[in-house]
Structure 1
């Protein structure tokens, strides 16, 4: 008894127990005005106990997060490495229809994985989730590197996309698990730096392997396998965040119908948007079927998640202005980033650069991203504010996109580098502030109704509602999902506008010339034809390409303005310096 009383005295020095103190003090349970001790025992079977670990020492925290950050880098790199490899891969397999599917297959499976990764790793643990994600990522890239036809190539991209989605999303959850809000800006800034560097260096690395190695494009996939496999034992040793505790079985805590509706909605929507206008006409049965079915699945998702006890994504979250605004900003800047990543290298190659040179000219973007991400993190930690920083980042993003619209075939190449620097810096700044503001919107009283024990050198166990209240993991899932869907939508919309305008203008100018239809098709099939244009075609063809690119640049300006509009509506919340948000 003396030992128990000593521990209780240490934990609660201002509230010493006496012989008449009840064993279950109602004041300990009633931490929220809507919760009573009776409510607690009535709902105990349906609640989960979240173990909030103490913040690790700085050295150990950096080691843990470094494993997660490198996974983010690999996942982001794999999403864009295909930007400069699509043409040679499609040529090797003699399948031009493969071009759009190489990026689409990865991004669709990536987007479908991320919203459910948070819930599954809440149940089974972050460590198991990261290990499985690295394993799937390695297997997917192995299939791609050894593929002998376009079917196995697409299957490999799907498997790698599932793994990459887990790497990116679970690493973000881990940041929330181990750092308080006040420091999360710095940690999230570093994570976004790794994401931006991976996404923006993918085209560079792909071009180098294609142009400078004997193996060619296959090495770009195979080289990602060893680091992914090496991360597995490191994660097994370092990552020790316990999963949520519950009296229910693992399977009983999984919202299977929610998983079905979420994945079906995303897969059908992105499949329809990516095929329509690219591989098949918009009036083809594929987009005409998948898009309406995706709307039905979304309606089913809203209906079910509103009544589920433990939903994948509580729909009530989207009623919060800050959450909706932050997710909107993440969506628009991700649309912009992917359009930039895929179309700026293409623009430079049209002007005569090799894939390697075009990739190297892309380096100012991750440089600006590193400055934006780290600067944003330190500013938030210093000032405790995030909305003004996010607004500034969106303005920088607008400046970068406007610079793209001023370019043509005669513009100096350094103008492209300056524009990329601004885009990279603005993207990282807005992404960091959007993620942190989304997490800050979760009030402590909304997350935890009952604190069962807060003891020195011990975990803090929090009992969470199961009625769809906000949690930081779910909010992080929403933010990451918005980023993933935004990237896919950005590529789809930019590709549709670029391809349709390019084809229409080429036919308007050269369609009635001798041999025109055949030459136009060769131009649309590959950039190599630009070196062998018929007499008198060059200026007209270049003007057509520049006008098509300008449409993409104008779309990027619109997305940057929408990002500014969205980030301006986030509310100011306190960035706490402690893990328990007190």
Structure 2
């Protein structure tokens, strides 16, 4: 094949992009990934201020996180399917444009209702970035060379995760900026990413006949959303054991049962049921859901605890999240290197699940008077456990399936982990709201609590009331981790039953070629 002068012509001719062209294209991709990860973390330290200013309740606090997670989770498989039909470049720019729209609406939101709608748009855009980044990388780079570039994405993810809470805290504490800039800050970066991708990303549009399972996606989203709405409202607007509970649960379960039936008959299902034939995959998915529930459900409310219970500023609250993130990055890196060196992986899954459970139990002892160094140690323990567990569950599942099922297995694990996060934030958020409301009623009387858990603004409270409220939020947050610990322990049980299988030394393409040769007629 004759080489041609420009990257666009090279791609169209089917040639491989050279190293310089790949790095240029990745710059726009990594900028987009940075923005989408930043959106999830930058808002954490701003939420107490946002909710206090817009007059939201503890349930609304939960839903500002959950709506983005759910929208992202539900749309990840759809973006992946559309990448087989349409231009990957156009789709990734469209996902960034949706993210810009959501960010602008969020930054200008006059009330919590508009803010929730904007978070859905942000979630759909972030779902596109999550799904398409790896697809675009695979389209540009052969598997043998993928490692040298994927490290760049790991660094971007780590920096965005660590920088997000810090940036959010500084923006909230800066009087001439404020919390609205936690959303608006992503707009110029997203627009820059769109422009960079337009100039540098040149991929051929290869179409194949696919059918998008819209009905399956709709039923899965509707079923999970029904259960999430129930877990948010129960205990606040109606009793846990009530006719409303029965209606919500029955409706959610029925929708999910219909989703399973539709998926079993779909030509290209959103979640291929065939992958559940493999015991390791099934157990890895179960453990991923539990990791999502425990990690997202527990940690998303820590920033609120730092600011309300410990009286820290948003900037300091951002700094206090570093021990957990550093623990996660160090343990995942070290475990990955040891697995590569020795080829053994199950021990890290079991150790990670045990340490994660221990971290949840340690955090169940916190209160309004717990010292910052002690909390930092507890958070680092939780981060170490999650770091050993999260990525290695994907490794275990990928190693167990044929090459043809690698994509479906990886996307299913991502899908269920995000779904677990959505469920965890919603369900444990409801537990927190219920506990806060009951403690308010106990300390201030039913009239003072008003039957709802309004998130207070610590700066506007008299010292006597502030001391009681700090104690309430400390007690309620500890209760949250106490509920999360047995959920985390179920992950220990799941990984114990995973059978260790020697790691394959072949790439996905090499495995596929060998499998095709084995099944070809002789």
TM-score, normalised relative to structure 2? 0.82
Please say if residues 440 and 575 of structure 1, whose CA atoms lie closer than 8 Å, have aligned partners that are also in contact.
Answer: yes
Report 1:12-23 matches (<5 A): none
Task: State the match for 1:330 in structure 2.
Answer: 288
Number of the residue aligned with 2:377:
418
Q: Which residue of 1 aligns with 2:355?
A: 396
Q: Is the contact between residue 72 and residue 195 of structure 1 (CA under 8 Å) also seen in structure 2?
A: yes
What per-residue deviation string (whole Å, max 9, x for no partner) do you get for residues 105-125 of structure 1? Answer: 222212221232222223335
Aligned partner of 1:86 in structure 2 is 47
1:77 corresponds, among 38, 41, 44, to 38
- Contact 2:368 2:475 survives alignment (8 Å): no
Query: Partners in 1 of 2:389 and 2:150 — Cα distance?
Result: 11
Report if aligned partners of 1:186, 1:376 keep a CA contact under 8 Å in 2: no
1:567 aligns with 2:486: no
Report the Cα offset of residue 420 of structure 1. 1.9
Shift of 1:434: 1.4
Cα distance change of structure 1 residues 427 and 240 upon mapping to structure 2, 3 Å threshold = farther
Contact kept, 8 Å, 2:56 with 2:454, in 1: the verdict is: no
Q: How does 1:176-575 map to 2 (within 5 A)?
A: 194-195=156-157, 198-199=160-161, 201-236=163-198, 245-246=207-208, 248=209, 253-277=211-235, 282=240, 289-349=247-307, 350-444=309-403, 447=404, 471-511=405-445, 517-518=447-448, 524-528=454-458, 531-532=461-462, 534=464, 538=467, 543-571=471-499, 572=501, 574-575=503-504
**2:120 pairs with 1:162:** no
CA contact (8 A) 2:103 2:122 kept: yes
Cα–Cα, structure 1 residues 56 and 385, in superposed 2: closer, same or farther, change >3 Å? farther
Aligned to 1:578: 507
Instruction: Check conservation: 2:310, 2:369, Cα contact below 8 A.
Output: no
SS of equivalent to 1:570: coil
TM (norm. structure 1) is 0.74
Q: Distance in 1 between matches of 2:438 and 2:35?
A: 38
Deviations 1:364-409 (A, max 9, x none): 2222222123323333433344323333333332343233234334
CA 1:400/1:167 → structure 2, altered by over 3 Å: closer, same or farther? same
- Structure 1 residues 244 and 559: CA distance shift in structure 2, 3 A: farther
How far off is 1:481 after superposition?
Answer: 1.1
Change over 3 Å in CA distance of 1:189–1:488 after alignment to 2: farther
Distance 1:502 1:148, change over 3 A: closer
* Cα separation, partners in 2 of 1:568 and 1:185, compared to 1, 3 Å: farther
Higher helix share: 2
Structure 1 residue 161: deviation in Å?
A: 0.9
Q: Distance in 2 between matches of 1:418 and 1:59?
A: 43
Take 2:395 and 2:197, find their aligned partners in 1: how far apart are those partners? 25
Matched, 1:135 2:94: no
1:150 equivalent in alignment to 2:143:
no
Cα distance between partner residues in 2 of 1:202 and 1:288: 40
In structure 2, how many angstroms separate the alpha carbons of the residues matched to 1:561 and 1:240?
47
Q: Report 1:60-71 matches (<5 A).
A: 67-71=28-32
Which secondary structure does the structure 1 equivalent of 2:44 belong to?
helix
- How many residues in Structure 1 have an aligned counterpart in Structure 2? 496
Q: CA deviation at 1:305?
A: 1.6
1:402-434 C-alpha deviation (Å, 9 max, x unpaired): 332343344321111122222223223311111
SS at match of 1:580: helix
Deviations 1:201-244 (A, max 9, x none): 54433222111141311111110111122222433455566666
Match of 1:19 in 2: none
Gaps of 5+ in 1: 4-52, 448-470
Worse-matched range after superposition: 220-229 or 411-420:
411-420
Cα deviation for residue 54 of structure 1 reads: 11
CA contact (8 A) 1:77 1:202 kept: yes
Distance 1:116 1:498 in 2: 33
Q: 2 CA distance for matches of 1:182 and 1:372?
A: 25
Change (3 A) 1:255 1:143: same
Question: Residue 86 and residue 329 in structure 1: after superposition, are their counterparts in 2 closer, same or farther (change >3 A)?
Answer: same
Post-superposition Cα deviations, 1:424-455, rounded to whole Å, max 9, x if no partner, equal 232233111112222222213xx2xxxxxxxx
- 2:101 and 2:354 map into 1 onto residues whose CA distance is 41
**Alignment check: 8 A CA contact 2:70 2:422 kept:** yes
- Determine the C-alpha separation between the residues in 2 that align with 1:242 and 1:393: 42
8 A Cα contact 1:264 1:294, kept in partner: yes
Alpha carbons of 1:541 and 1:218: their partners in 2 closer, same or farther (altered >3 Å)?
A: closer
